[in-house]
Amino acid sequence: MFNVLILEDEPYTLNYLEAIIGEHPLVNKVYGTGDGRQAVQLARKKQPTIAFLDIVLSSEDPFNGLEVAHYISEINPATKIVFISGYGRYVLDSFAVHPYDYILKPVNKDRIFNTLTKLANQVLPKDKYFHKIIISCKDETVFLDSAEIFFFEKEGKKTVAHTSQGVYTFSRSLNDLNDSLPEEFLRTHKSFIVNVNNIKALQVTGSRSWEVVFEDYDKRALLSRYKYREVQEGLCFLGRII
């Protein structure tokens, strides 16, 4: 579990961020403020794991979000910085504090949850959540063992997880997802990532094209000719003979 600091001078946006971030199952405490000086004090006292910082604050505030980020980095270098701003022109300036992410307003729950979930996989200790694959859907966050997942499929701008517990649709690209998955997951096609431990067979469907057949699951994934050798090598590496 981790603690989150939010700096946002617009009361409505602050309340919204506090509400949606507080819904994430791995978030323990949320500390929100609209004042830059207080944000620095909270960072010193609470030692948050993640800080979501607006950049442009009230003209009455002696700090801006970039300055607050510098102070937080000095207080606790381990705190991950995520900027939230209505302006893209501060992206280059933000590089000075090596932020984890830069989110443009208006923010939405899917975008925030994706950032929280990716950060959770990086910063949480190796407890019971570490070995889980975390999927943040619109109305829930699910924690799955690798063995429960058959494959991931690109569907428009969304990704669909086909699992033994059900089908889950969420907002995360296959490229991004692929970088965070354990070694038993292989990219078989531009639109598919499969769990090789759940493969039953590779079935020929045409000239140099295949479908991936799974144990105890009717739906299939595609295997492109460009990925066939890589998948076969991956199966051998993991001790699977198909």
Query: For residue range 87-142, what is the model confidence (pLDDT) as tens digits?
Result: 888 889 889 899 999 999 999 888 898 888 888 767 765 544 455 788 888 777 78
- 115 in the same domain as 6: yes
Tens digits of per-residue pLDDT, 161-181? 999 999 999 888 898 888 778
Which residues span the domain enclosing 157?
Answer: 133-237
Position 131 scores a pLDDT of: 59
Task: Give domain status of residue 43, yes or no.
Answer: yes
> At which of 69, 101, 123 does a domain end?
123
Structurally, the chain folds into a number of domains equal to: 2
For residue 242, pLDDT beyond 90? no
Max Cα distance, the chain (Å): 68
Average model confidence (pLDDT) across the chain: 88
For residues 72 and 168, membership in a common domain is answered with: no
Task: Give the ranges where the chain is alpha helix by DSSP (H).
Answer: 11-23, 36-46, 65-75, 91-94, 109-123, 174-180, 228-237
CATH number of the domain encompassing residue 40: 3.40.50.2300
Q: Domain with 179 in it: what CATH number?
A: 2.40.50.1020
Whether residue 137 sits in one domain with residue 118: no
Is 128 within the bounds of a domain? no
- Mark whether 208 and 146 lie in a shared domain: yes
- Rounded Cα distance between 208 and 223, Å, is 9
Question: Does residue 242 fall inside a structural domain?
Answer: no
> How are beta strands 101-104 and 80-85 bridged, if at all?
parallel
Give the angle subtended at the CA of 133 by the CAs of 128 and 139, to the nearest 5°.
105
Residue 241 has pLDDT above 60, yes or no: no
More confident residue, 124 or 40: 40
Q: Are 186 and 193 spatial neighbours (Cβ–Cβ below 8 Å)?
A: yes
Give the pLDDT of residue 222: 95
Percent of the chain with pLDDT over 70: 93
| Domain assignment of residue 157, yes or no | yes
